[in-house]
Amino acid sequence: MNDHSLITTLRSLRGNPRGCVYTEPLWGIPFNLYSPYISIYMIALGLSDKQIGLTVSVSWGFQIILALLSGVVTDKLGRRLTTLVFDILAWSIPALISAFAQNFWYFLAAGIMNSFWRITLNSWSCLLVEDADQDQLVDIYTWIHIANVMVGFIAPLTGILIGVFSLIPTIRGLYIFAAVMFTVKAITTYRMTEETGQGKIRRHATRHQSAFSVLREYRGVLQELLRTPQTLYTAGIMLVISITTLISGSFWPIIVTERLHIPAQNLAVFPFVKSAVMLFFFFVIMPRISQMHFKLPLTLGFLGFVISNVILITAPDQSYFILIISVFLEACCLAAVNPLMDKMVVLTIDPTERARIQSIMYVCIILITSPFGWIAGTLSTLDKGLPFLLNIVLFVIGAVLIYLAGNASQERLAVEVAASQ
């Protein structure tokens, strides 16, 4: 009996993709154990809603700066060393600070330190893909998403522990556990990987340059990015995903509890359904579409998001069945879109300037996404369905961008084939 293609890919991974994929659960497990309870833990230690909001806002501000610097740091230190250093700074140290937190200032410090994840996001992405087999990209990203979906099933364990030990001691213990696991993950990833070929080139090219000198070169990189339609389409699609994820994450529980009148204690069933459906889709459907050109499956995925949101805002009161249909459809679309979108990002970014182009794109996405929390909140006060009507408009725009990006990609491929003949 032949192995499943995803299993075959997992077994065949070598080098940097192996070091990044195999160690992902070491981050996902501890993070998913404590993350749903962060705000409750902060309130239990005496923080006000305003202080929690201030912590998030300050962290967001630092993320903008660090996202801009991420390309410089990744190029000068190298992908591998940057990932090691900033994984520990962004995850291990904030977890320890939070474990022993006594007041607002501890959480503010932890929030600022956690902002460094913007640097390791860039370096880790380069480490994962730069020396990877392009034919395996969808499967590689699928395994990253599988790892994060599967660890979501262990989140209820925290509730059991809180029932036994109470909230504050449980979360303190989980933060200590997380700090250890995050450190083990960073060191293990470092030992299982080596510097990428492009990383060596960029580290050599920037070794005598100051950080400010490298930053000044961003202007030329930005101009080149603006002259590359396919990369701009990709950035636009990433922006749509960023905004709609922010809106759904913040306002889905609100429309479900306040408009559809689903009791809050029953909300946990829907993420469970979503995770189960996504796992099924990853193993059964994705192998059939992973080698397709991204244009058709991504366009269908975004149109599926449109239908899912239409079902959500038209669902009758307390209709669990209709809501599950919406969640089922969203899960299928997420499982298809996320790995294909990750592959599209890799293939449409100039590999010689990957770190700096990703840095510019992340900064722009953060800046443009940030006001949409307030915009969606204002819409929600008028009508709980309006944020999701905004989502529908954005997903339609995303589908159009995918269609245009697909055409540009196919035209470029045709030119390359003609030139090679």
| Alpha carbon distance 254, 248 (integer Å) | 10
Q: What is the token pair recorded at 81? A: 């060393």
pLDDT value of residue 32: 85
Same domain for 165 and 292?
no
Same domain for 386 and 243?
yes
Q: Helix H segments across 285-349?
A: 286-289, 295-314, 320-348
**Which of 174, 192, 216 marks a domain boundary?**
216
| Alpha carbon distance 178, 171 (integer Å) | 10
Same domain for 104 and 206?
yes
Domain count, the chain: 2
Residue 122, domain extent: 1-216
**Which of 216, 247, 278 marks a domain boundary?**
216
Q: What is the token pair recorded at 200? A: 């060596």
* Residue whose C-alpha is closest to residue 347's, from 419, 408, 273, 261: 408
Phi-psi region of 15 (alpha: psi -120 to 50; beta: other; left: phi over 0): left
Same domain for 26 and 65?
yes
**Tens place of pLDDT per residue across the chain (421 aa):** 456 788 888 999 999 999 999 999 999 999 988 887 888 889 889 988 788 878 888 888 899 899 999 999 999 999 999 999 999 999 999 999 999 999 999 999 999 999 999 999 999 999 999 999 888 888 899 899 888 888 777 877 888 898 899 999 999 999 999 999 999 999 999 999 999 999 999 999 998 888 888 888 888 888 888 888 888 888 999 999 999 988 887 788 788 888 888 886 677 678 788 888 998 998 888 888 877 777 889 999 999 999 999 999 999 988 889 999 999 999 999 999 988 888 888 877 888 888 888 888 988 998 888 888 788 888 888 888 999 999 999 999 999 999 888 887 777 777 767 777 6
Same domain for 281 and 174?
no
pLDDT value of residue 213: 86
Same domain for 141 and 225?
no
